[in-house]
Amino acid sequence: MKDSEVILSVLGSIERRLWLRRALQEITYGACVVLFSLIAFQFVGVALSSAIPAVGTGARTAVVAAVVMLGTYIAWRALRQVTLAQAAGEADARARLKDELKSAYWFVSMPEPSPFAELQIARAAATARRLDPGAIVPGRPPRSLYAVAGLGAALLLVTWIAPQQSHSWDGADAAATAAAAAGETQDLRALLEGAPQDPEIEKLDRALEELQRADATAEEKARAAAQARDAIEQANMEAAAAREGLVRLAGAMRANPRFEKAAEALRAGRNDEALALLRQLRAEVGGRDTRALEKDGIRPLSDSEKGLDRGIEERLAEGSRDLSSINARVDQDALDRVVNALQEANQRLEVQSRVIEVKRRMQEAMIPTSQRSALTASQFDSSDNAPNATASPDTGNADIRGGAMFRQGAVTRRNDDEPARDGNMSGSAAGNSEALALEGAATLRLDAQLKLEAIHRRDDAGDDEKADQGWFYSASQEQKSLLGFEDVRARQGFDRENAMSVERVPIRQKHAVRDYFLNLHESEKK
Amino acid sequence: MNTVVDRQIQAFRDQFQLVRDEISRVIVGNDEIISGVMTCLLARGHVLLEGIPGVGKTKLVQTMADVLHLKFSRIQFTPDLMPGDIIGTNIVREDEAGRKAFEFQHGPIFANMVLADEINRATPKTQSALLEAMQENSVSAAGRTHALDQPFFVLATQNPIEMEGTYPLPEAQMDRFFFKLKLDFPDVEQLHLIVDRTTGQKEPTVQRVLQQGEILEMRETARAIPVARPVQEYAIRVTLATHPESSQAHEMSRKYVRFGSSPRGTQALILGAKVHALMNDRVYVSCEDVRAVALPALRHRILLNFEAEAGRIDTDTILDRILESVPEPKE
């Protein structure tokens, strides 16, 4: 075998081994990337599908497309040929041959090698005969193969541990998720059991039932969620009205010494105690005969005056009026009316507390209750402002959100008894920001500085006068006076600066000479 | 045929080693410098030796002249040296018949080895006269061109300190030198050897071991070494890396270099690498050979900018970084 053939044979063997090794490396590297992406998607996919339910199918398609593209790219890289020159370069580098094979391969390809090149080819052939291609490019598997095995095991583990989370877009998992949601809704309905009879409770229960239904479509569920939200808001509004009425009732009752204790109990929020006191008063009133009542100036009310068909707020207001004066009529009916209204207000508050609990649980279960969008304002806020179940003492509404507070603050007006202050009152959310202090020199309004003057032109050709042919601005009388004053003051200043001393040297020049020597002296010190 | 070439290469190595050993009898250490000077001689180049006074620049050249059977002349460059003092001049001669005629009196440049001692002390005009002869291998005087005898080898020395009253060589003229070699201060052991050798009763002497014809043969052998294209590409990449405006420029070149190496630099890299390969018993040039000669071949061909001067960055530092970063061609 000729020297050149020996070299080419050895290089060919090294080339095949290099190609196989590179293909394996590329494939295992690509597998590593794919496996790692799948593991990462197990976690990312769950989060995405929870936030946006429709993302499941799209994400799966994107993953499949990415894997196909990556596979194509890896196949392209793996199938690239290794040239003999590259094999020679690799062999030189790995066997520390100082470019011997690379140069020999180059000289082999020369048309007419010189004697020195031929000698080099012969020497390189001798070296190539001693070379073991297996030692230069070992047949051991690449290290990335172990990484593939590890990542594959990790993927299996992740898929096995959290199957319900890893493929939330699958039908079976979706059914499991729906079942879990239905169970959650059942728990919510259980919260409403034993609640007072109330239309809002019934409405909320119906909405929850709709949400619980397994075959409900997404649109039906959204509609049910909207109904639940309306019911909750209505219950909150009614409870707020009841609270306001109770506050007024307490204020009115405080004016009457007989109801003072009940009023204190109402103010402190001890409604049951106030109710008990009022019932005791009613019992006392009920024990006396009608004549005694008439003697005291109290007569019984007719049934039409009981007003059971009116709203709780109105009835509490009426009770407030009845009980606000010591001379008002206090009979059994009036007290009955107040007691009934108080009982109903308590019921409203009880309904509200149930509703708030349901709302909190719904929010925890990611069921929108406060806004049309799934993204609530609180989701843009910090976790410190997360909704809680503690109702506001004023409104009973626990849904205190940053956006609502800002809007509320932006329209807050100052109290009328506050002293009047200049400046913008709508700058801050509280609505009571003060104006900035005035800066700069005072200026006159333009209409004080200038006046509009019309130009009257007389037409020489005729006697008739054409008025208001044009107009311009001229200085007003005030402006003329001010400018004249400034002119006089400037002239005085100039005269003072230009005044001669005894030596007939202007003072300004003397000052300049003095400054010059002062500066000179300073520079000398430096 | 291979036997003939083998013998030729073996002769080259033996003669090279012989010269080096003979010089080493007088010159202590500086093996790389001796090899560098020999490389320049065999690659048909000229060498610039730089070092502080007393490190043996002139002694090295004198010893080399003694070892090689060549005509040697020494020119001490001074500010009042004129071109005619180097090249020669026409003088009026009167023959026996009483007739007068101009005759060209050859200057010291008509030698095989010329030592231009402290070349930067002469005026640029005089420097140019020498450098022109270096480039053209011929001298023009009084309208006639006189060819210089081969091998023609100039060894110039210069002192990096005491720059007052000197005329630093312009970059274009520096480029004419094949290598620029720096002689460092000897270490303690070398100083002991120097003192031992030079302060005794008998100073070491050398023998002439290489004839003029042998040198010319060695030159031909060195030129015959083939270079594979990938290695040549590596040398070109190294050269281009010194050019700040090149797409292959190194980061340090972009920052500190005003002008990169000329094509003569690449030629010097390849020719020097050929000699280096032969010295290492190889009949091909490897990238390692290119790296071995890169510093002396390129250090004087790179022009630094103000930023490098201010930051005390020298060309050797930049070349070291370039050689570290430029990859060898894989195929």
Span A274-328, pLDDT tens digits: 888 888 877 776 655 444 544 444 444 444 444 445 666 677 777 766 665 545 4
The answer to whether A314 contacts chain B (CB < 8 Å) is: no
* Residue A94 touches partner B, C-beta closer than 8 Å: no
Peptide bond into B151 cis (omega under 30): yes
Cβ-proximal residues to A92 (8 Å cutoff; 6+ apart), any chain:
A98, A99, A100, A101, A102
Nearest CA to CA, how far is A86 from chain B (Å)?
4
pLDDT for A306 equals 45
Would an 8 Å CB–CB cutoff place A50 in contact with chain B?
Answer: no
Q: Is A114 on the interface with B (CB under 8 A)?
A: yes
Closest CB to A116 among B5, B229, B230 = B5
What stretch of H or E contains A233?
Answer: helix A218-254
Higher-confidence residue of A130 and A187: namely A130
pLDDT tens, position by position, B35-53? 999 999 999 999 999 888 8
- Provide the whole-model pTM: 0.55
Residue B234: pLDDT over 90: yes
| Partner B contacted by A481 (CB < 8 A) | no
Q: DSSP state, B250?
A: -
Which segment of A99-108, A157-166, A295-304, B139-148 scores lowest on mean pLDDT?
A295-304
Q: Which of B157, B215, B156 is nearest to B38 (CA)?
A: B215
Q: Is the pLDDT of residue B183 over 50?
A: yes
* Residue A225 near chain B (CB below 8 Å): no
List of chain A residues whose C-beta atoms are within 8 Å of the C-beta of residue B224: 114-116
Q: Please state the separation of Cα B46 from the chain's center in Å.
A: 4
Q: Provide the token pair at A417.
A: 């008894």
Distance CA B39, CA B26 (A): 19
pLDDT value for A439: 66
- 3 state SS for A340-400: HHHHHHHHHHHHHHHHHHHHHHHHHCCCCCCCCCCCCHHHHCCHHHCCCCCCCCCCCCCCC
| Contact between chains at A116 and B283 (C-beta distance less than 8 A) | yes
ipTM surpassing 0.85: no
Contact (CB<8Å) A114/B2: no
* CB atoms A102 and B1 under 8 Å: no
| Cα dihedral A437, A442, A447, A452 sign | negative
Inspect the interface and report whether the beta carbons of B226 and A86 lie closer than 8 Å: no
Q: Is residue B179 very low, low, confident or very high in pLDDT (cuts 50, 70, 90)?
A: very high
Residue A412 has pLDDT above 50, yes or no: no
- Copy the structure tokens of residue B241: 């890396």
pLDDT at A374: 42
Residues 115-144 of A with CB under 8 A from B: 115-120, 122-123
Report CA-CA distances (Å) from A32 to A74, A148, A470, A499: 12, 5, 87, 95
The CA distance from B230 to the nearest CA of chain A, in Å, is 8
